[in-house]
Structure 1
């Protein structure tokens, strides 16, 4: 299949997607200043698509204006609380819908098995004491559950919430007490989805995010 202009590595869309992945992966720290020149050099592209991508990141709330560039947005405690309240309900709904699809026979076995593997990957990264790998694997699991819900509008809303929170996830998964607890919680969510039990999936997913909020350490 021929690539479209937006799929070319140097296109504004491709650059925007690459930068969003970097935010999700915790590459940038809250308050870190980002300039067009540095980002263009990092990604090996011209400054024009960087400039367009930064405009979209400003709209997304992932960066804020700063001297000679932008800075990575840092969540205030109040903003973080609002996001986690929203996230708890969105992720609870995603798990509920995924379990409902499983009960209806609409969730492929490969999708359910992929959730189990994703849990294993989080556990392996946590045991390796690798906060960044843990954060990446954790987000991959939550994205997989969001995709399993089968609702693209819900998934889009979740992506926006995840990206705002992801910049601090690495530091939070460096907490051994919280990192050690998440595997059991993840397995409970996936077990409920596999069992096709929407009520249990909703309950365990919401409890997991509420526990995440209790362990959350905002960065400034």
Structure 2
């Protein structure tokens, strides 16, 4: 995967953006080794912007030092539990704020419709048994709800949590039972937002993330 010509010349930011997107989409597995040389060849850039981008990812906790290069950070059971607790509260707040904005008439109908469409895209990916597409559609839906909350500080906090937890998402969605369950949970969240019912939206979002945490635990324990 090469960078676009416009962003190629010595752009650490362009390399960083590509790598962050890959993390967010669950393209890297926990513990996977990343080297400057391999990434530079893959992105068709020099090693300097790759080194600088990896340094930023290291400071953010997405990678850890390895014997050669870095490795994708793997969450311990305890770390995952702490992140899911935080995520449940943040996503519950996002859904609550989005529903409140809907009740006040501050959400455009097209925005609410786009949430339903995002749920449909997750369902289509699940039915196609495409785990990676499901993970990407799932993240897109959660980001859309975060944006609908209308609080950029909350949205920034959510992005940080999503990036740290993205490496678990593909593993979760590889469980057919869980993958089929999320559509109903997503629809409950969006229904609460559409109805402008802040409490219903908040409760549905929190229950959804708490269920995701329970689905994750077997994977974390198996990795030990």
Asked if these proteins are the same fold (TM beyond 0.5), I'd say yes
For structure 1, the residue ranges without an aligned partner over 5 or more in a row are: 1-6
- 1:72 aligned partner: 72
Cα deviation code 1:74-130 (max 9, x no counterpart): 000000000000000000000000011111111111111110010000000001111
SS in 1 for 2:70: strand
Instruction: Report deviation, 1:33.
Output: 0.6
- 1:156 aligned partner: 156
What CA distance in whole angstroms lies between the structure 2 residues aligned with 1:149 and 1:44? 38
Question: Which aligned pairs between 1:51-130 and structure 2 lie closer than 5 A?
Answer: 51-130=51-130
Instruction: Report deviation, 1:26.
Output: 1.4
What CA distance in whole angstroms lies between the structure 2 residues aligned with 1:188 and 1:50? 42
SS in 1 for 2:19: helix
- 1:203 aligned partner: 203
4+ aligned runs moved over 2 Å, structure 1: 7-10, 217-220
- 1:8 aligned partner: 7
Which 10-residue stretch deviates more, 37-46 or 146-155? 37-46
Instruction: Report deviation, 1:41.
Output: 1.2
What CA distance in whole angstroms lies between the structure 2 residues aligned with 1:42 and 1:202? 42
Instruction: Report deviation, 1:8.
Output: 2.4
What CA distance in whole angstroms lies between the structure 1 residues aligned with 2:125 and 2:115? 16
SS in 1 for 2:122: helix
- 1:136 aligned partner: 136
SS in 2 for 1:51: helix
SS in 2 for 1:22: helix
Q: How many residues align structurally?
A: 214
SS in 2 for 1:168: helix
SS in 1 for 2:75: coil
SS in 2 for 1:114: helix
What CA distance in whole angstroms lies between the structure 1 residues aligned with 2:44 and 2:114? 33
Q: What TM-score do the two structures reach when normalised by structure 2?
A: 0.93
For structure 2, the residue ranges without an aligned partner over 5 or more in a row are: 1-5
Instruction: Report deviation, 1:25.
Output: 1.3
What CA distance in whole angstroms lies between the structure 1 residues aligned with 2:8 and 2:85? 36
What CA distance in whole angstroms lies between the structure 2 residues aligned with 1:185 and 1:68? 42
- 2:39 aligned partner: 39
The CA RMSD measured in Å over matched residues stands at 1.1
Instruction: Report deviation, 1:152.
Output: 0.6
Instruction: Report deviation, 1:43.
Output: 1.3
- 2:214 aligned partner: 214
What CA distance in whole angstroms lies between the structure 1 residues aligned with 2:124 and 2:22? 22
Instruction: Report deviation, 1:9.
Output: 4.0
What CA distance in whole angstroms lies between the structure 2 residues aligned with 1:25 and 1:147? 18
SS in 2 for 1:129: coil
- 1:4 aligned partner: none
Instruction: Report deviation, 1:158.
Output: 0.5
